[in-house]
Amino acid sequence: MKRIVILGGSFAGLTAAYKLKRNLREDAEIILISRTDKFWFIPSLIWVPFGRRKRDQISFDLKEALEKQGILFYHEGAKQIFPEKNLLTTEKRDLSYDYLIIATGPAYNFQLLSGLGPKTGYTHSVCNINEAEECKNAWEEFVKDPGPIVVGATQFASCFGAAYEVIFNVEHQLRKLKIRKKVPSITYLTSEPFLSHFGIGGMFGSRPMIEAFFKFRGISAITNAAIKEIQTNKILLEDGREVPFKFAIIIPPFVGQDVVRNSEGIGNEKGFVEVDHEYRHKKYKNIFAAGVAAVVPSPGPTPIPVGVPKTGYMSEVMAEVAAKNIIADIKNTKHKPKPFEKITPLCIMDAGDMEVFIVGTNMFPPRKFNALIPNIFGDWMKILFEKYYLWKMKTGRVYLP
């Protein structure tokens, strides 16, 4: 019996665990290790600051879900990987493996800039549930005495979709609370070379659509922005400009988790794992990585450095490819690679009182087809998808779309 250990209990980790167990059954022992005991539907964190979601609405217990499927769950942090020994250590044990999947997700590099982040800086975050709840408290204080707002993403950041969703929701909430006129400016600050670049080179027709929406909602944008420093009530850019704010949400760059950075030969200087088109480690052939933990190609350089996003859907696809190729190894069948740039971009971007469907034939241009399709009748599709996806992952039905 093969032992397959998976680090991480989010989109990539759960997908891989369920896929492997469903196909290998008693031929493999599947163990999932996570430092959190819950699965979080991360796309819904953008609603938490505005009271549209609470933590129990967007999460479920990992132990209960996994053990119903015959998968062992260890609620503990992974500390170090010893690839030459096929061994890893956690906070509680040493564990050998035949195959290892690293799906540990991101750590957040708030240390990049002085004044960045909710703990030691002046900006807020929606990167995890605790930060989103802290942001909610700050938002409730802000609406009592409004002022300028800045939302955006730093240089090297990659999660631009969340920044767009946040700024649209901020503007929508201001109108809903009837205080929009009390806010002198709403500014989107981004390292993207143009609006709707998203870190993937943009989509056909997306730029004029987003620019028109910004103009309609009275949102100004500063692209190609490199932040120098964040002070109490203003953001200083490298080009000398200053952007005032009273409330700001700024997405930081992601870096790899400590377990990768602490393990010699596993990751690069940022803690991400170099993989091939099977999401297999380039040196250690029984180690795979999927989701944020994996290094993926870039569509090309930009004037200000940006990262490539790895959404929940992309993470799922990478994890499924990794799982299929582990199964192929064990069953001695044909391997099936899938380059990251060939993954279909699929996303529902919430815009407060509406939503936009993002779809294309492959991740990077040129594409045979790609489009942004607005749903002007509300954001009910993303809400329905949230509920469907939580049910799907809680019950292990990753074979469903």
Active-site residue (options: 6, 159, 314, 349):
159
How far from 346 is each of 16, 133, 167, 196, CA to CA, in Å? Answer: 19, 27, 21, 15
Helix H segments across 129-159? Answer: 129-142
> Are 206 and 372 within 8 A, CB to CB?
yes
DSSP state of 180: G
- CA atoms of 272 and 84, how far apart (whole Å): 19
Active-site residue (options: 6, 347, 351, 372):
347
> Are 355 and 347 within 8 A, CB to CB?
no
Active site residue 347: yes
Active site residue 159: yes
Query: Coil, strand, or helix at residue 211?
Result: helix
DSSP state of 27: G
CA angle 282, 287, 291 (to 5 degrees): 90
Residue type, 162: A
Please choose, from the candidates 33, 305, 309, 249, the residue with its C-alpha nearest in 3D space to the C-alpha of residue 127: 249
- CA atoms of 168 and 385, how far apart (whole Å): 19
> Are 28 and 1 within 8 A, CB to CB?
yes
Spell out the residues 6+ positions from residue 121 whose beta carbon is closer than 8 angstroms to its own.
Answer: 110, 113, 114, 115, 230
> Are 59 and 48 within 8 A, CB to CB?
no
Q: Say what angle helices 11-24 and 312-331 make with each other, to 10 degrees.
A: 30
Please give the positions annotated as active site: 159, 347
